[in-house]
Amino acid sequence: MELVAGCYEQVLFGFAARPAESWTVVPDFTHHAHSASLSAVAVNNRYVVTGSRDETIQIYDMKKKIEHGALLQHNGTITCLEFYGTAHLLSGAEDGLICIWNTKRWECLKSIKAHKGHVTSLSIHPSGKLALSVGTDKTLRTWNLVEGRSAFIKNLKQNAHIIKWSPDGERYVTVKTNKVDIYKLDTASITGTITTEKRISSLRFVTDSILAIAGDDEIIRLYSCDSQKCLCEFKAHENRVKDIYSFEREGQHIIVTASSDGYIKMWNLDLNKVKDVPSLLCEVYTKARLTCLAVWLDRAPEMKENSDKAATSSQANEDEKSSIVRKNKVCWTDKSDKTAKRKRKITPEKQKLEARLITPEKQKLEAPLQKKKKKRNSSA
């Protein structure tokens, strides 16, 4: 288990967390990841990816503990990153694009002009067939990931900066400044609203019906999605909380928090005593102004598989094509004829995409070779 956190100081921190009778957190690595502050981080069973204001996405292989390369498709700050299982990554940025990446070959399968303004947040349904995104154009958009196209557009009264599916995929929430609107999937209508005193900086589903919310203060609040009532609140840090992460381990519900005060803290939430303040398991001081947080787990594939099964069973009646989609591993590429596919293999754009997967040093080495090839072709 590894706690990974990004900061304004352009560094990615890694801390090995060792669950035992007394939890311990040991510094594992620090990496000067970007040339600007980190804005997003995401994990799957093998990789950690980070996004930054320097417009790049950096990839790290956690099994080998090495840097794996960079993705350079976006223009503008990377605002959101999310893996779906072991095969795909979705990225959103200030350029209004959502890019779908194959994580086996790290190539861009599709680049979608998603919003007229910035993409502020995105979330993939547990089934992998739908995604939601919000942007600065005051719209909430539903994406059909099987066909790679827009499925529905909903106009919002104001910009939303966070969107999140529940683990069971039965509901989703949007955050507009200090308001959380809770939607039901089958009706796409608001079933309740949670309002906080200050702007909400981060939000996480702890269970299908319990939300952990952090505002621009030191307090973490747990809310019920059903009653919209605050179940518990506690002071987690000495400064504002920037990000929350949660996961379940051997029946324990763990909440991880990162703050501008430089601390990462792990809390144990007892759902049988949800009104009690969660107990502090451990903490670590990074000496940095933290911006984003994730937890890399070796057993992530197993967790994802379980959530996929739950989501698939809940939607079995309304989706007769599920077995076909699963066999095809969800086709998120452009639909085009074979000739176009053959051309795509030899176009300069394809070569550029492949170059994006390798380190900047190698790109510099390959650049003169590309120029020589162009000269030969022009002289011929």
Domain ranges of the chain: 1-32+209-301
Asked if residue 236 lies in contact with residue 259, where contact means CB atoms within 8 angstroms, the answer is: yes
Looking at residue 278, the DSSP 8-state letter turns out to be P
Q: What confidence score (pLDDT) does residue 275 get?
A: 85
Please state, in angstroms and rounded to a whole number, the distance separating the CA atoms of residues 260 and 104.
35
- pLDDT for the residue 243: 95
Contact 98/88 with Cβ under 8 angstroms? Answer: no
Closest to 210 in 3D by CA, of 278, 156, 283: 278
pLDDT at 21: 63
pLDDT of residue 334: 43
Phi, psi of 239 (to 5 degrees): -140, 180
Query: Treating both helix axes as pointing N-terminal to C-terminal, what angle do 348-355 and 360-379 enclose, rounded to 10 degrees?
Result: 160
pLDDT in 10s for each residue of the chain, 380 residues? 899 999 999 999 999 988 876 788 899 999 898 999 999 999 999 999 999 999 999 999 998 888 999 999 899 999 999 999 888 999 999 999 999 999 999 999 999 899 999 999 999 999 999 999 999 999 999 999 888 888 899 999 999 999 999 999 999 999 999 999 999 988 888 999 999 999 999 999 999 999 999 988 899 999 999 999 999 999 999 999 999 999 988 888 999 999 999 999 999 998 888 888 899 999 999 999 999 999 998 754 444 444 444 444 444 444 433 332 333 334 444 433 333 332 233 233 333 333 334 344 434 334 443 444 444 444 44
What is each CA distance from 347 to 72, 322, 356, 359, in whole angstroms?
17, 34, 15, 21
* pLDDT for position 274: 82
Element (H, E) at 361: helix 360-379
Q: Report yes or no: 293 and 245 within 8 Å, Cβ to Cβ.
A: yes
- CA torsion 143-145-146-149 (nearest 10°) is 50
What local confidence, expressed as pLDDT, does residue 216 receive? 87
pLDDT of residue 234: 92
Q: Which two tokens stand for residue 113?
A: 């002009």
Residue owning tokens 């956690």: 62
Name 162's Cβ contacts closer than 8 Å, sequence gap at least 6.
Answer: 120, 121, 134, 173, 174, 175, 200, 202, 203
Alpha helices in 21-116 (DSSP H): none
The pTM (predicted TM-score) of the whole model is 0.76
Q: Which residues pair with 264 in a beta bridge?
A: 258, 284
What residue has token string 């269970």? Answer: 207
Residue 24 pLDDT: 87
